[in-house]
């Protein structure tokens, strides 16, 4: 094959791959919206009960939440930040082991339900839930051993409040997250972040590396249409 033919084949394959990823993303968004609307709003995950509403990411049916929760690594004296807490599942899971957890969400409905779930799981002395955009509601000077993040990763326009759980157009949120996290992580701390094969994880990692984070893949779960990936990131 000549170099020109190789280039044409490469462009054809990567164009096809991008198209397939777009189709998978559209299917995932369709499925999540149906689950939000018609799925139960009281669910059990890993032996704990979570109340949600149609506007709060359901922690049961899309597997990302339980996959992350099953892979969280915290020590008993750790302070933990759960960024984008949704139902509160990661904060509550971490709160069973860590000394202190702060959870943040930009969706006021998620904050309301996460607070309810923290109370019903008797963790109000350990877990505090704050309302706001990324690190904005945190006091300067706070720093954490672990930051957990299960971000939105589909490309699409945010119209409703729930869309914050789905879309990160141009990975702008991810860029702001990795920049801000540098000010709130302890020197030997780490980020535990979930991402997906259908959302160009290589681009997400390029963003984090450019900002100064070093990544290791710690777990992967394959489904019929996508692979969920959990990365551990530390400052380079």
Ligand X SMILES: C[S@@+](CC[C@H](N)C(=O)[O-])C[C@H]1O[C@@H](n2cnc3c(N)ncnc32)[C@H](O)[C@@H]1O
Residues in contact with ligand X by the rule CB under 6 A: 57, 59, 65, 68, 84-87, 89-90, 104-107, 110, 133-134, 150, 152, 164-165, 173
**In the complex, minimum distance from the CB of residue 216 to ligand X, in angstroms, rounded to a whole number:** 20
196's tokens:
């997906």
Nearer residue to ligand X within complex by CB, 4 or 37? 37
Nearer residue to ligand X within complex by CB, 86 or 95? 86
Strands 185-196 and 213-222: unpaired
Nearer residue to ligand X within complex by CB, 28 or 205? 28
Secondary structure (DSSP) of 208-230: HHHHTEEEEEEEEEE-SS-EEEE
Contacts of 58 (CB under 8 A, 6+ apart): 32, 35, 36, 39, 41, 43, 52, 87
Round to whole Å and give the CA distance between 169 and 175.
11
**Percent helix, strand, coil in the chain (nearest 5)?**
40, 25, 35
Give the CA-trace dihedral at 99, 194, 165, 83, to 10 degrees.
30
**In the complex, minimum distance from the CB of residue 195 to ligand X, in angstroms, rounded to a whole number:** 11
**In the complex, minimum distance from the CB of residue 45 to ligand X, in angstroms, rounded to a whole number:** 9
Round to whole Å and give the CA distance between 21 and 212.
28
DSSP letter assigned to residue 163: G
**In the complex, minimum distance from the CB of residue 134 to ligand X, in angstroms, rounded to a whole number:** 4
Residue number with the smallest Cβ distance to ligand X: 84
**In the complex, minimum distance from the CB of residue 107 to ligand X, in angstroms, rounded to a whole number:** 4
**In the complex, minimum distance from the CB of residue 207 to ligand X, in angstroms, rounded to a whole number:** 15
Nearer residue to ligand X within complex by CB, 100 or 164? 164
By C-alpha distance, which of 129, 132, 133 is closest to 120? 129
Cβ atoms of 135 and 183 closer than 8 Å: yes
Nearer residue to ligand X within complex by CB, 102 or 205? 102
Nearer residue to ligand X within complex by CB, 151 or 189? 151
């Amino acid at each position: 094959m000549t170099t020109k033919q190789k280039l044409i084949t490469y462009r054809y394959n990567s164009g096809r791959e991008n198209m397939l990823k777009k189709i998978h993303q559209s299917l995932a968004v369709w499925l999540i919206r149906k689950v939000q609307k018609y799925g139960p709003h009281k669910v059990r995950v890993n032996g704990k009960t979570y109340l949600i509403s149609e506007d709060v990411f359901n922690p049961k049916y899309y597997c990302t939440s339980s996959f992350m929760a099953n892979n969280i690594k915290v020590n008993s004296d750790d302070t933990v930040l759960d960024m984008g807490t949704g139902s509160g599942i990661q904060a509550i899971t971490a709160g069973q082991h860590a000394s202190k957890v702060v959870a943040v969400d930009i969706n006021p409905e998620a904050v309301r339900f996460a607070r309810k779930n923290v109370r019903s799981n008797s963790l109000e002395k350990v877990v505090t839930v704050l309302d706001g955009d990324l690190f904005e509601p945190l006091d300067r000077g706070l720093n954490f051993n672990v930051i957990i993040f299960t971000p939105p990763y589909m490309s699409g326009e945010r119209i409703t409040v729930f869309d914050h759980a789905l879309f990160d157009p141009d990975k702008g949120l991810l860029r702001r997250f990795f920049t801000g996290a540098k000010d709130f992580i302890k020197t030997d701390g780490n980020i535990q972040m979930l991402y997906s094969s259908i959302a160009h994880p290589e681009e997400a990692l390029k963003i984090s590396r450019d900002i100064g984070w070093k990544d290791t893949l710690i777990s992967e779960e394959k489904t019929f249409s996508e692979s969920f990936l959990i990365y551990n990131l530390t400052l380079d």
